[in-house]
Amino acid sequence: MFLHTLSRSTRAVTATAALAAATLALSACGGGGGGGSTGGGDGSITIFNGATGTITENFNPFSTTALQPTLGVIFEPLYYYNLAADVDPEPLLATDFSWNDDGTQLTITTRDDVTWSDGEPFTAEDVAFTFNLIQQTPALNTGGIAATAEATDDTTAVLTFPETSFMQEPQVLGNQAIVPEHIWKDVADPTTEVNSDPVGTGAFAVKSFSAQSYVLESNPDYWGGEPKLKQVRYVSLDNADAASASLVAGDVDWMSAFLPGLEDIIKGNQDISYVNTPALTTVMVACANADLGCEGPQTDPAVRQAIYHALNRDQLNNLAGGGFAAPASPTMLLPDRDKKWIADPDQVSIPQAADTDTAAQILDDAGWTAGSDGIRSKDGQRLSLTIQTVTGWSDYISLNDAMTQQLADVGIELKPSQVSWNEWSAAQTGGTFQLSLDSIGLGASSNPYFVYNKFYATDNTVPVGESASAGNASRFSDPTVDAALETARSTSDEAVQQEAYAQIQSVITEQFPYIPIYTNSMLTEFNTSRATGWPTAEDTYAMPASWKSWDNGQVLKTITPVG
């Protein structure tokens, strides 16, 4: 998402999309340039993961600004959670785990044949050390992990939580890199440590670093066997145009960005392929809760329902999504991956055509009557809504324009506004907006708890004017949802959880504090002449996006260099 954001925002600075497309099409016809790339057959690939400008060295796995391959490629978690598919977590540094009955104690069995890249053996002591360090250092605890840990023998670590914590499982197992105790116990200040010579258990280790690029090389002693890929280079490019030109020239082998005219590039260059793994739902966030200070017609649930029904999503996908977007689910889960969690089969995906009759009926029933200019009003309030998006996010801007026309058909006036990313973000977390375009999804695991808790829980919201950075920007609050979340949180029984989520789904598909539009495309482009074995639409063994931290590690140890 970071890359997506960056590439979209910088697009505006540099160029018109038309020129970019022309650049791509023409250079593709020219046989792919050749650029300054060496390589081919030397077992190395080059990755653009969204890094722009100067790269600063930071391989500290606790740091929020660590270089992306720090997590998953150099350091590993206990388990790998694949958010691209409905599969069980894959064991990495752990081989087994179990909870006690009330969810306060997690016993982890660690792998016994792992060594750190400096040759020292990896043990359960390292696992215990890592979690204790986090617990003792609030500034490191970005995941909110409250466990204290103890290693009972070389391969067993026991984590003790102060309260029922089943839902901490993916955070603890899949989202925390384990660090070597023998090195980190001597680190003076782990919050500002840049860890320039990182010792990890991952399949790759740092070879060289500079402010413009850095190189990782394969770890010959990796517990899973040395990767076939010998060398990985990460480069920094300032914008999407530079990235796409580099892809076509063969300078970059792996990147993720929405490229205008992608089909033309593929046609002209047989070495380049792409995979589309939609995973984030594009939504209109509505400031929905008048009790917490939201103002405007969107605080009326009928208005949000009407918008939901009035959108022609096929048209939106063609006009704004480049045809790459997939249907979303009104339950805010992913139609393919999360089918088992969606209670009502009718709610697996949204009908793609507009249902203007239903929309008009809902508004009529709620007392919104059409005025002389075709726009409805109620008690003197015009049904006119402002929707904000970020300057330069061209697909969202087209989305707003198309929706303005579609909603006018049912008597809703939509007024798009474009603001800077900072302003957009500040308005959304502060609640000073009516509608806002954003994308949501990608929790700690595919369990719906993470999406529902973050975006719908009363605990995660605050009155307008305060910063709702915990996630619930809509200020949505509903006792049924809160109770169901409590139920889901206190059990590891999937059947009980399913029932709780069904209750949540019935509320949110009536209320629509977030109005789903579509599951946005996530396009990743590869150069297959340098390496093969990339994730495909059929085999999503990892999320293919080049900016996705843990998944990167899985991809890099799976792909095979050509030649």
Tell me, residue by residue from 355 to 374, as one string, x for binding to other proteins by CB under 8 A and - for no binding: --------------------
SS3 459: helix
Indicate whether 236 belongs to the interface with other proteins (CB under 8 A).
yes
CA distance 476 to 456: 6
List 136, 152, 196, 210, residue binding other proteins (CB under 8 A) = 210
Residue 242 CA from chain centroid, whole number: 23
Indicate whether 209 belongs to the interface with other proteins (CB under 8 A).
yes
Indicate whether 162 belongs to the interface with other proteins (CB under 8 A).
no
Q: DSSP H helical segments within 73-123, as ranges?
A: none
- Residue (of 98, 59, 81, 99) closest to 200 by Cα position: 59
Indicate whether 436 belongs to the interface with other proteins (CB under 8 A).
no
For other proteins, the binding residues in 510-549 under the rule CB under 8 A are 549
Residue 119 CA from chain centroid, whole number: 34
Tell me, residue by residue from 104 to 143, as one string, x for binding to other proteins by CB under 8 A and - for no binding: ----------------------------------xxxxxx
Of 9 and 276, CB closest to other proteins: 9
List 35, 40, 224, 293, residue binding other proteins (CB under 8 A) = 35
Query: In this structure, what token pair is assigned to residue 524?
Result: 């990743």
Indicate whether 467 belongs to the interface with other proteins (CB under 8 A).
yes
Indicate whether 100 belongs to the interface with other proteins (CB under 8 A).
no
Indicate whether 54 belongs to the interface with other proteins (CB under 8 A).
yes
List 18, 26, 483, 537, residue binding other proteins (CB under 8 A) = 26
SS3 350: coil
Q: Are 403 and 317 in contact (CB under 8 A)?
A: no
List 423, 491, 492, 528, residue binding other proteins (CB under 8 A) = 423
CA distance 474 to 435: 9
The piece of 88-96, 235-243, 264-272, 501-509 that touches other proteins (CB under 8 A) is 235-243
CB of 281 to other proteins, least distance (A): 13
Indicate whether 64 belongs to the interface with other proteins (CB under 8 A).
yes
The piece of 49-57, 254-262, 372-380, 395-403 that touches other proteins (CB under 8 A) is 49-57
486 CB-near residues (< 8 Å, 6+ apart): none
Indicate whether 173 belongs to the interface with other proteins (CB under 8 A).
no
Q: Are 256 and 5 in contact (CB under 8 A)?
A: no
CA distance 229 to 302: 55
For other proteins, the binding residues in 1-20 under the rule CB under 8 A are 1-2, 5, 9-10, 13-15, 19
Neighbours of 497 (CB within 10 A): 22
Query: In this structure, what token pair is assigned to residue 150?
Result: 């103890």
Find the radius of gyration of the CA atoms of the chain: 24
Of 141 and 492, CB closest to other proteins: 141
Of 68 and 349, CB closest to other proteins: 68
CB of 304 to other proteins, least distance (A): 23
Indicate whether 56 belongs to the interface with other proteins (CB under 8 A).
yes
Of 409 and 423, CB closest to other proteins: 423
Of 128 and 280, CB closest to other proteins: 280
Indicate whether 429 belongs to the interface with other proteins (CB under 8 A).
yes
Query: What would the 3-class secondary structure string for 479-526 be?
Result: HHHHHHHHHHHCCCCHHHHHHHHHHHHHHHHHHCCEEEEEEECCEEEE
Number of residues that bind other proteins (CB under 8 A): 86
Q: For residue 303, give the amino acid letter.
A: V
Buried b (16+ CB within 10 A) or exposed e, 162-200: eebbbbbbbbbbbbbbbbbbebbeeeeebeeeebeebbb
For other proteins, the binding residues in 263-282 under the rule CB under 8 A are none
Tell me, residue by residue from 137 to 156, as one string, x for binding to other proteins by CB under 8 A and - for no binding: -xxxxxxx------------
The piece of 28-36, 198-206, 342-350, 377-385 that touches other proteins (CB under 8 A) is 28-36
CA distance 555 to 141: 27
